[in-house]
């Protein structure tokens, strides 16, 4: 990975809550256009790491660089202005507003980037991209949970990001919906050239779609490699994957 291609870099990032070290000196680099998975048991620090790299939480120690600029301690809007967008583990759509108005809300935070890709030009384009165009007029509360997850991704995309952080967007979905979601995520990366960092519990599906996977365990990064190599890592199998992976990943 060349230095020039690095969009986001975490240098020894630590997040403490009182005596608890939720994220423990994590180093990670994310290149332009990469699709990277983050996995690990409940409480491993995955969401907290996202909170740190999107400015929601200031790290207790370490540094965060976005396109080479040091944003350590900056507010979330500054990370957004530098092209970082995210979804939340608990969906945050506005249920009483229409699907279209929810995307409009995201678009209010866009506009900083002069050359928005045509696919992200307006709410209609974003809705087509996430496959919700035919539900544009419905209140968000009336679409399915799976569609609400897509809508959340649409709201994040409407800010015209370079880096998209997805926190368990496939949680609670059926097996077929998880597969469709994974395909959609890869297509978004391919079509928009985004860097996508994707936390998910559906490990076997995730492993088939990402190029690289980071494993967190008790706040520490214990692996960072291709899916094929990570599933053979003794420490990872011991800490986590022994229970999750029933068959080898190709």
What residues between 20 and 59 interact with ligand ADP by CB under 6 A? 20, 22, 40, 42-48
Q: Does 162 bind Mg ion (CB under 5 A)?
A: no
Stretch of residues binding Mg ion (CB under 5 A), selected from 10-18, 45-53, 101-109, 229-237: 45-53
Q: How far is the CB of 45 from ligand ADP (least distance, A)?
A: 4
Q: Does 47 bind Mg ion (CB under 5 A)?
A: yes
Question: Phi and psi of 196, rounded to 5°?
Answer: -120, 130
Stretch of residues binding ligand ADP (CB under 6 A), selected from 17-25, 109-117, 129-137, 226-234: 17-25
Stretch of residues binding Mg ion (CB under 5 A), selected from 42-50, 51-59, 114-122, 143-151: 42-50
Residues 46, 53: contact at Cβ < 8 Å? no
Residues 26, 216: contact at Cβ < 8 Å? yes
What would the DSSP string read from start to end of 169-227?
TTTT--HHHHHHHHHHHHHHHHHH--EEEEE-S-HHHHHHH-SEEEEEETTEEEEEE-H
Residues 193, 38: contact at Cβ < 8 Å? no
Nearest residue to 38 (alpha-carbon basis) of 89, 84, 91: 89
What residues between 113 and 132 interact with ligand ADP by CB under 6 A? none
Stretch of residues binding ligand ADP (CB under 6 A), selected from 16-24, 61-69, 113-121, 228-236: 16-24
Q: How far is the CB of 53 from ligand ADP (least distance, A)?
A: 12
Six-digit token pair at 126? 């974003």
Q: How far is the CB of 44 from ligand ADP (least distance, A)?
A: 4
Give the span between the Cα atoms of 184 and 182, in whole angstroms: 5
Q: Which stretches of the chain bind Mg ion, using CB under 5 A?
A: 46-47, 89
Sites of contact with ligand ADP (CB under 6 A): 17, 20, 22, 40, 42-48
């Amino acid at each position: 990975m060349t230095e020039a291609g690095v969009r986001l870099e975490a240098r020894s990032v630590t997040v403490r809550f009182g005596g608890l070290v939720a994220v423990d000196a994590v180093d990670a680099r994310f290149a332009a256009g990469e699709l990277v998975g983050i996995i690990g048991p409940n409480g491993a620090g995955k969401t907290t790491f996202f909170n740190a790299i999107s400015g929601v939480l200031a790290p207790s120690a370490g540094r965060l660089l976005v396109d080479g600029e040091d944003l350590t301690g900056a507010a979330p809007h500054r990370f957004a202005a530098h092209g970082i967008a995210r979804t939340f583990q608990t969906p945050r759509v506005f249920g009483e507003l229409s699907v279209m108005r929810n995307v409009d809300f995201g678009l209010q935070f866009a506009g900083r980037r002069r050359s928005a890709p045509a696919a992200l030009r307006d709410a209609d384009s974003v809705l087509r991209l996430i496959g919700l165009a035919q539900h544009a007029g419905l209140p968000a509360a009336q679409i399915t949970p799976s569609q609400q997850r897509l809508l959340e991704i649409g709201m994040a995309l409407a800010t015209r990001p370079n880096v998209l952080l997805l926190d368990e967007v496939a949680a609670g979905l059926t097996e077929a919906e998880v597969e469709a979601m994974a395909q959609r995520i890869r297509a978004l990366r391919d079509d928009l050239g985004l860097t996508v960092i994707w936390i998910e519990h559906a490990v076997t599906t995730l492993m088939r779609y990402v190029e690289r996977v980071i494993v967190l365990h008790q706040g520490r990064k214990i692996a960072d490699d291709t899916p094929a190599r990570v599933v053979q890592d003794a420490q990872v199998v011991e800490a986590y994957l022994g229970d999750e992976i029933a068959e080898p990943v190709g």
